Structure 1
Amino acid sequence: MIGPSQTRILVEKTIKLYVGGKFIRSESGRVDRITPTRPPTDNAGADPRDIYVCRASRKDFRDAMELARKAQAGWAGRSGYNRGQILYRLAEMLEDRAEAFPVAREQVHAAVDRVVHHAGWSDKISSLLSSLNPVATAHVNYSMLRPVGVVVALPDPADGLLGMVEALSAATVMGNTVHLFVPLESGELAAALSEALATCDMPGGVVNVLTTDVTGLLEWANHHDDLDAIYLAAAAIDDDALKATQLEAARVMRRLILVDGAAQPASALTLQRLAEVKTVWMSS
């Protein structure tokens, strides 16, 4: 038992990956030390700046892909209204946990507003983008949206929390599952977001948060042929990595959604690119 005059043992924080609704360590065992963004506090002479971040490996990504693929059908099968409820619950958790984020409160509020914005689209976007098509035969022909599938999202690190919630909200509101690639230096922010995701009723595997060397893991993701789409802020990677991503996407006919950043929410047309159009013929 520690008396009042004795120093406490510093409990160092290891930030884990959030995969399949669980917090896990990388199978590689690799952990990077980072400098936290929040100012240090006095802790009896201990150094509070020791924060360790698990580095996601190629195997971690493959495992996450299996979980996301299994979760995708169930998530897409939910009503748009229910997906909106869960996104709104995420906004509630972000609001309640604002103090846990290593950023200014205004940035958390902006992220909350963005999640609410996308939650509002959940039961409306399909009606907006679906259509009844005129045909010259005795049939009814209509087009409807369905999710594109499993998405890798790389937001611009400069957009911080807002970029992360914009990417995951845009992908999930359309019924997709998503892997969020976050740079190691943003690990503390990713951890706070993951903790909110773990308490917002989001089914396991729908959103996976992988702290990693983004460019290195993207190279492996490009060669994973079961990946359906990449949601990419152009500023997140360099020109060479972007060109390689475009070439691999063309090789397997993978959808590549390039966005400028998170300053504005995704438009309805951008959301449409996170879905496929299914056309149905019925005899009249």
Structure 2
Amino acid sequence: MTVQPRLLVEKTLKLYVGGKFIRSESGRVDRIRATGVQPRDIYVCRASRKDFRDAMDQARAALAGWSGRSAYNRGQILYRLAEILEDRAHALPIDDEHVHLAVDRVVHHAGWCDKIQALLSTLNPVATAHVNYSMLRPVGVVVAVPDPADELLGMVEALCAATLMGNVVKLFVPLAAGELATALAEALATCDMPAGVVDVMTTDVPGLLAWANHHDDLDAIYIAEGAVDPELRASTQREAARVMRRLIHVTGAAESASPLTLQQLAEIKTVWMSS
């Protein structure tokens, strides 16, 4: 029997937006070199401005449902993400040690979900016949820009820090990291994460971030040191000041976010009650 040569099924890595794998509305696709067992060219969709605008609309709709879930349930979903990443460790285009660091980081943040509120909430002393207390609520829709050098660890650090506080997040990933971004998106799609809570967008990060700075419905930007050049960082700060947008600077993913960093991903709600 003669074995006929077959055509290789070329893989196009899509955006993960609103719980679905979609192509960019622009139709733009970049070719990168895969680093898996069989090195080959693969194609990565490049997110456009309109993709981001559409994702923002879906994120705003998903915010109430995600923030309204119990902290315990959010922790369960993040832990399920860790389980899936652990199970797929050998299939990811990075070494197992790095995957295990990322998995451990997800477990770490899953554990904070039902503890951070108790740690950072307060009972405030007042001079009237009232009970006054402060509690956390999510800041809202967050764009996260991890340092590309941190690879998968940077991605999970950014998305977990934001989502454990009840936020929804748009994760901007460079096109060159398309394989890792897709692997993470596939894990998110199967870990019971509600649609629209985490969007993974491969793109020209500086270009899309420069445009996202002018989107007034965006509540916060989480940006790692080394993710963008100083000029774009400065313009991001100026635009954030213009609309009173929260800007969270982190040094990278070598260490997990401290409670004080997590507090920046929340707002403080103060409640007065008659005693």
The two structures have a TM-score, normalised by structure 1, of: 0.96
* Runs of 4+, deviation exceeding 2 Å: 37-40
**Equivalent residue for 2:254?**
263
Percent of pairs identical after alignment?
Answer: 77
Q: Does 1:165 align with 2:163?
A: no
Structure 1 distance, partners of 2:98, 2:77, is 21
Q: Does 1:222 align with 2:220?
A: no
Structure 2 distance, partners of 1:272, 1:5, is 61
**Equivalent residue for 1:190?**
181
**Equivalent residue for 1:44?**
none
**Equivalent residue for 1:9?**
7
The answer for unaligned runs of 5 or more in structure 2 is none
**Equivalent residue for 2:145?**
154
Structure 2 distance, partners of 1:71, 1:26, is 21
One-letter code of the match for 2:12? T
How far has the Cα of 1:100 moved from its partner? 2.2
Structure 1 distance, partners of 2:253, 2:215, is 26
Aligned-partner SS, 2:196: coil
Q: 1:36 aligns with which of 28, 34, 37?
A: 34
One-letter code of the match for 2:187? A
Q: Does 1:140 align with 2:131?
A: yes
- Cα deviations across residues 219-244 of structure 1 (Å, max 9, x unaligned)? 11100000000000021000000000
- Cα deviations across residues 118-174 of structure 1 (Å, max 9, x unaligned)? 000000000000000000000000000000000000000000000000000000000
Aligned-partner SS, 1:51: strand
The two structures have a TM-score, normalised by structure 2, of: 0.99
Structure 2 distance, partners of 1:4, 1:201, is 46
Q: 1:113 to 1:55 in 2, by over 3 A?
A: same
Q: Does 1:106 align with 2:104?
A: no
How far has the Cα of 1:22 moved from its partner? 0.3
Structure 2 distance, partners of 1:120, 1:175, is 14
Structure 2 distance, partners of 1:39, 1:237, is 31
The answer for unaligned runs of 5 or more in structure 1 is 41-47
Structure 2 distance, partners of 1:281, 1:199, is 41
Structure 2 distance, partners of 1:99, 1:279, is 47
Structure 2 distance, partners of 1:168, 1:50, is 28
**Equivalent residue for 2:56?**
65
**Equivalent residue for 1:27?**
25
Tell me the matched-pair count: 275
Residues 109-128 of structure 1: pairs in structure 2 closer than 5 A:
109-128=100-119
- Cα deviations across residues 34-68 of structure 1 (Å, max 9, x unaligned)? 0112353xxxxxxx512000000000000000011
Aligned-partner SS, 2:233: helix
Aligned-partner SS, 1:235: coil
Structure 2 distance, partners of 1:106, 1:8, is 35
Structure 1 distance, partners of 2:6, 2:162, is 44
**Equivalent residue for 1:208?**
199
Q: 1:4 to 1:180 in 2, by over 3 A?
A: farther
